[in-house]
């Protein structure tokens, strides 16, 4: 059975590293938050925490707290016909419940955890690459990262999916150490 592996975690935790690794293993890729970045581009807004938060919260006001799951389900369904899929950035508890109800045991949630100060340091030191046209790995200031954490926990229920994850990877070391943890649980994720 093809799996939908949703990667959850706070900004700067290492979700993209895990997602990119799964893609390298043949998984299709869909980023939940790409909807936000597409709207930012359409509206010719600067990609920053204030504009992104406004768009995210607006989408949820219009479609409910499960908006990103509901809007991405047709895309997941198409990709799952071809193989396993990594969904990068499941956020809200409502989204989690919608996806769990729709996909059941086909859904596997992997949380990536890193402490706030370490995540903020990573974000401050990130460089936006010209090849990152979808603005997947954007830098942030310490204050904007902290503000985003608070907004995501308080306004979009981000803690629930992390707490209910099937697997948790602790990312306090190197990328290689994170990948090593992932490789150890990958057979369990894939149901082998």
- Assign 70 a pLDDT band (cuts: 50, 70, 90): very high
How remote is the C-alpha of 79 from its chain's centroid? 17
CA dist 45 to 21, 124, 161, Å?
31, 21, 29
Task: Give me the domains of the chain, ranges plus CATH numbers.
Answer: 4-189 (3.40.50.300)
* Rounded CA separation 57/65 (Å): 9
The upper half-sphere exposure of residue 114, i.e. CA atoms within 13 Å in the direction of its Cβ, equals 21
- Is the model's pLDDT at 139 over the cut of 90? no
pTM above 0.75, yes or no: yes
pLDDT at 160: 93
What was the pLDDT predicted at 131? 43
**Cα–chain center distance at 87:** 7
Positive or negative torsion for Cα 10, 73, 130, 175: positive
Q: What is the pLDDT of residues 22-43, one digit of tens each?
A: 999 999 999 988 889 889 999 9
Given a contact cutoff of 8 angstroms between Cβ atoms, the answer to whether 109 and 168 are in contact is no
Whether the predicted pLDDT of 14 surpasses 70: yes
Contacts of 181 (CB under 8 A, 6+ apart): 169, 170
Question: Which residues, other chains included, contact 142 with Cβ-Cβ below 8 Å and sequence gap of 6+?
Answer: 120, 123, 124
Is the predicted pLDDT of residue 121 greater than 70, yes or no? yes
Percent of the chain with pLDDT over 90: 65
Q: What is the rounded average pLDDT for all residues in the chain?
A: 89
């Amino acid at each position: 059975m093809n799996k939908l592996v949703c990667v959850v975690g706070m900004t700067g935790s290492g979700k993209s590293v895990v997602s990119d690794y799964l893609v390298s293993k043949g998984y299709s890729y869909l980023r939940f938050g790409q909807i936000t970045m597409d709207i930012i581009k359409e509206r010719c807004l600067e990609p920053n925490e204030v504009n992104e938060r406004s768009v995210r919260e607006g989408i949820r006001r219009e479609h409910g707290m499960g908006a990103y799951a509901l809007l991405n389900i047709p895309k997941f369904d198409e990709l799952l016909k071809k193989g396993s899929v990594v969904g990068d950035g499941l956020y809200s508890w409502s989204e989690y419940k919608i996806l769990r109800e729709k996909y059941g045991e086909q859904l596997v949630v992997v949380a990536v955890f890193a402490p706030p100060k370490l995540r903020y340091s990573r974000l401050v030191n990130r460089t936006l690459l010209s090849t990152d046209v979808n603005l997947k790995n954007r830098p942030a200031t310490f204050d904007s990262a902290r503000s985003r954490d608070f907004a995501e926990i308080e306004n979009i229920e981000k803690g629930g999916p992390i707490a209910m994850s099937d697997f948790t990877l602790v990312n306090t070391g190197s990328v290689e150490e994170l990948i090593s943890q992932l490789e150890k649980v990958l057979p369990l994720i894939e149901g082998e």
